[in-house]
Amino acid sequence: MSDALLENKIDKLKERREVPLEDRWDVEAIYPSWNDWQNDLDTWVKPQNKPHWPEFNQYKGKLSQPSSLLEFIERSLLVDRHLSKLYTYAHLKHDEDVSEEKANQEYTRMVAFLYEYKEELSWFEPELLSLSQSQIDNLTANHLLAPYKNYLLKILRFKPYTLSKDEERLMALSGRAMETAQRAFGVFNNADVKFTPAKDSSGRELEMSHGKYHLYLRSKDRDLRRSAFQSMHSAFMAYENTLCELIQGQVQRHLFEKKARGYKSCLHAALFPHEVDESVYKSLISTVNQNLSSLHNYMGLRKKVLGFDNLHLYDVYVPMVSDVNFSISYEDAEKMVVDSVSILGDEYQNALKRGLSTDRWVDRYENARKRSGAYSSGCYDTRPYILMNYHGTLNDAMTLTHEAGHSMHSYMSCKNQPYQYSHYPIFLAEVASTFHEELLLQHLLAKVESKEQKAYLINQKIDDIRATFFRQTMFAEFELKIHELVEQDVPLTPAMLKQLYRDLNLKYFGDHMKVDEEIDIEWARIPHFYYNFYVYQYATGLSASCALAERVLSGEKGAKEQYLTFLSSGSSKFPLDTLADAGVDMRSSKPVEALIAKFNMLVAELQVLLA
C-alpha cells in the first residue's frame, strides 16, 4: 500500500449524516421514509392485532383439497413477499449506524414480526405432512398446483424431521430467543467493542476500526501491521469469557434443533435443509488436509521474498511486490468491474453498470458505527444492495466485484424465476461472487505493462485463494470440531477454544509461520461462526466458480449460456444439480483438487516472476 493512500484514510470516521448522498445506497427507492414503511407495515402486519394473520386459519383441515392448498400457498407467498420488503428496508437502515435508535427499534420490531408470522403458520407443514401418501401424490400431480410442485416436494423432504403442530409451534416460539447469542455478538462486534489506536513506525497513533484494520494489514510498515494485529485481538481477548459463552450459546442452539428434530448431527441438521450431503463438507476438509503442503510452500516463499527471519500472521496480507502501487479510487474500481464482465454479454454488463451507477446499489465508505464487512442484500421487490467499506486498495476493488457478483445472481434469479423459486440456495451463494473476482483479475492481467505488476496481481490471486479457500476450510474444520465436542457433552471454555484454534493455525500454516499468541482468540471475532456451518461454502463456491470461469474465459462452446442459465435458476432445482447442469460436479473432489493445482501453478509462476 502506498503511504499516500494510507495518509488519505487515517481521518476520523464521518457520522452517517455527513456522508454525501452519492456515496450512499438508495434505500429510499424501497420506502421514501419510515412513515411510508409504517403504512405498509400496517397493511401487511396489522401490528395492533393478535393474531396478525387470522385469515390463514380458514385453511386448517382443508389442505387435502387442491384449491384450498393453492389459495393458502399463494396467499402465504404474497404476505411473505411484503414482509421481506419491510424487513429489507429495516435491516439496511439499521446497518447504516447500528446504534441509531429509530432504525434499531424498528429492525428489532420487524424481526419479532417475522417470528410471529412463522409461529402463526407453524401448523401448515405438520398438517401437510400428516396427509396420506395417496393424498400427497394426488396433490403433487394436480394441474392447479403444477407451478408449486417443486416447492411442495422440498417441503415433503422434511417429513422425517417435522414435529407435531403443537411442537412446531413451540419451535417457532423459541426462534427469537434462540437468536440471542447471534444478535448479542452482532451488537458487541459492530457497536460496543473498542480498539486502542494502532501505532506506526514513527510512533504516530492511528484510529482503529474493523475496516481500517484490513487496510493497515496491507501496509508496508511492519510496526503498524503488528500494532493493528495486537490492537484488534487484545480487544476481543479482554472479553474472552463472554465471547466463549456467546459462541457456546450458538452451538447449543444448533444442538437443541438437532435433538428436537432427530437429525444425526448438528452438521446434518445444517446441511439437510440446503440439500447438501455431509460428505461434501467432510470431503473438502479431508482433501485440503491432504494438500496443506501447498499452503506451507507458499508461506515459505512469502517468508523468503519478504526477507524475514520469522513470518508472522500479520505479514500474510502485505503484498510481496512492494514497489507496485495499485491504489484505486472507487470510481475507477466501479468502471473496472463493469468492463471485466463484458464476456457475459451486453445485457448483463448494462444491468450491472446501471445498478452500480444510476441506481445506487452500493453504500461505499465506512462511517461511524456502520456495520463492518461487506455483503449483498435485497429481496424480490427491491433492487440488490451492497454494503462495503471502501478504502482504495485492490482488495477493496475485489470486494466490490465480489458483492456485485452476489447482486447480479440475485438480479438474474429474481428476473427469471417466480417468487417461490427466486432465492438461490445457500450452497450456491459464493459461486457468482468469486466468479466475478476471477473475471476482474483476468481483466487486470490483460492490461498490465510490467513483470512487477503481473507478479503483484498473481500474488493477489494467490492470497485470495489462501483466504477464501484454505482459511475458510480451516474455519469449517474449527466449526465442525466445536459442534462435535458439544454433541459429546464437552463444555467449551476459553482455554479449550484458544488451544484448538492455535493447533489449527499451526497445522494449516506450517513451520514457516510464527503463530502469534494473539491469534488464539481470533475465533471470537469471526461473525460467520454464528451463521450455522456457512463458511465451507466459500471454499466450495470458489472451487466451482474457478471451474466455471475457466470454461467461459476459454470460450468453450455453450459455457457462457450455461453460466447465465445457472444465475437464472434460483432454487428451481437442487443446488448440486444446478451446478452439474452448468458443467461442475461438486459431488466429487475434482473441483477442489483442480483449485489446489491452480494454486500450485500460480505460486510457481510467482516464484519465476520474482526471481
Buried b or exposed e, range 11-27, using 16+ CB within 10 angstroms: eebeebeebeeeebbbb
Contact between 555 and 266 (Cβ < 8 Å): no
Burial (0-12, 13-18, 19+ Cβ within 10 Å), 265: middle
CA separation for the pair 168, 186 (Å, rounded) = 27
Q: Active-site residue among 240, 275, 334, 403?
A: 403
User: Helix crossing, 210-217 with 222-237: angle to 10°?
Assistant: 140
For 449-516, give the DSSP string: -SHHHHHHHHHHHHHHHIIIIIIHHHHHHHHHHHHHHHHTTPPP-HHHHHHHHHHHHHHHH-TTEE--
For 285-354, give the DSSP string: HHHHHHTHHHHHHHHHHHHHHHT-SSEEGGGSSS-S-TT------HHHHHHHHHHHTGGG-HHHHHHHHH
Q: Which contiguous run of DSSP H or E holds residue 521?
A: none
403 in active site: yes
Cell digits of residue 413: 434469479
Long-range contacts of 133-140 (CB under 8 A, 24+ apart): 135/64, 138/64, 138/66, 139/64, 139/66, 139/69
Active site residues: 403
